[in-house]
Amino acid sequence: MSTPRPFRIDVPQADLDDLAGRLARTRWPDELPGTGWSYGVNKDYLMELVEHWRTGYDWREHETRLNRVPQFTTEIDGQDIHFLHVRSPEPDATPLIITHGWPSTVYDFLDILGPLTDPRAYGGDPADAFHVVAPSVPGFAFSGPTRATGWGAGRVARAWAELMRRLGYERYGAQGGDFGSIVSPELGRIAPERVIGVHVNALATASTPIDPGELDKLSYDEREQARRNQSWWYGHSGYATQMSTRPQTLAYALNDSPAGQLAWNLEWFVDWDPTRTERTPVDRDTVLTNVTIFWLTATAGSAARLYLETASEAWGRRPPPSPVPTGVANFLGDRAIRGLAELSNTVVHWSRFPRGGHFASLQAPDLLVADVRDFFRSLRAR
């Protein structure tokens, strides 16, 4: 069971027909007039997207696109782990494991796999090539559902270390965004002798202080940013509070209503405020592909458990310092504060970009790839 086995997605047509039927029978709630998005996902927006999902979206197109990428499964620590594995044509390429967040899947990475693994074909320097491993987080999509408690960020990172060992990679880099920005640094703490560097975007652990004393360690501008971040997070953290305390209660609704699951996932994919036109929107078929994968694998509730499991093991305390060189990319809307990041990471690279958004691999893949290359280029030169 530990030997990686080839994997191919082949969803029965009956499952797609059932999805279409459920979408057609959606029981819509009321909505207060004139509230727009201020109370949550806008009803008119959602109804239009659900109708497109039912009548215009083609799952088979995206299933085929995923199946063009080499995929495998292997059992680690009692859990089936699904992963993409794309080797570079460059023999001296650097191994790199990349980790998605919530509510994402490995589908988010399809636009960056080519430039990362074969920069020569995209007008880049072949010395910047990577062998890319992109696992589905346990509990998510084809790595789910989880079958035991305890699958928080630390256990995921230990599974990643074992996966890279099985694939024969002795030294490698790590990259991640959103929840991946928690898992990837943790991998560096678990295996510092193997991880040459950690690159993150949407760094989730460095936007707000964990205790008031941390404010004293920041500059004046950083303290003001931290206070603004705290106010912002208060108005946007309901989803995280629910999933980190009572994910099973939520799972019944998400697993029974595809429209409900789409609404739950959608707020982050519209990047918090769809009226902010300076942010690059996420393509609606990409949103629907991620949600469809959750629906077809019945893993919306299992994915939500990651929040409770990680809260149980780590939230409420600052991670211990990591000796691994760390690079942080900040895209439009990201709220990481360097002074907080440096409390638990050896930050050697800090960049800001005027476009993109929380889902950088979807909203600014060119900038993300360039920053990953730039960060690891400096480590290769050492």
Q: Name the residue ranges covered by the structural domains of the chain.
A: 5-381
Residue 118 annotated among the catalytic residues of the structure = no
- Residue 380's pLDDT is 79
d(CA 371, CA 108): 17
Asked whether 174 and 96 are in contact (CB, 8 A), the reply is: yes
Secondary structure element (H or E) that encloses residue 294, with its range: helix 284-297
CATH of 5-381 given 2.30.29.30, 1.10.3720.10, 3.30.2130.30, 3.40.50.1820:
3.40.50.1820
pLDDT tens readout for residues 79-122: 999 999 999 999 999 999 999 999 999 999 999 999 999 999 99
Of the candidates 122, 134, 151, 75, the residue with the CA atom closest to the CA atom of residue 310: 151
d(CA 138, CA 327): 25
295 burial type by CB count under 10 A (0-12 exposed, 13-18 middle, 19+ buried) = buried
Task: Calculate the average pLDDT of the chain.
Answer: 94
The predicted model scores a pTM of 0.96
% of the chain surpassing 90 pLDDT: 85
Choice among 62, 100, 358, 371 that is catalytic: 358
Choice among 178, 271, 334, 371 that is catalytic: 178
Of the candidates 195, 216, 220, the residue with the CA atom closest to the CA atom of residue 327: 195
- Written as six digits, the tokens of 120 are 């020569």
Residue 366 annotated among the catalytic residues of the structure = no
pLDDT tier at 245, thresholds 50, 70, 90: very high
d(CA 42, CA 29): 11
- Written as six digits, the tokens of 159 are 């599974």
**What residue type is 251 in one-letter code?**
A
pLDDT tens readout for residues 159-187: 999 999 999 999 999 999 999 999 999 99
Of the candidates 194, 217, 186, the residue with the CA atom closest to the CA atom of residue 342: 217
pLDDT at residue 279 greater than cutoff 50: yes
Q: Kindly tell me the sign of the dihedral angle through the C-alpha atoms of 25, 27, 30, 31.
A: negative
d(CA 39, CA 43): 10
HEC sequence for 305-331: HHHHHHHHHCCCCCCCCCCCEEEEEEC
Of the candidates 172, 123, 116, the residue with the CA atom closest to the CA atom of residue 371: 116
Residue 307 annotated among the catalytic residues of the structure = yes
**Least confident interval from 223-227, 236-240, 322-326:** 236-240
Choice among 271, 307, 334, 371 that is catalytic: 307
d(CA 238, CA 69): 35
177 burial type by CB count under 10 A (0-12 exposed, 13-18 middle, 19+ buried) = buried
Of the candidates 229, 305, 243, the residue with the CA atom closest to the CA atom of residue 272: 229
pLDDT tier at 327, thresholds 50, 70, 90: very high
- Residue 274's pLDDT is 47
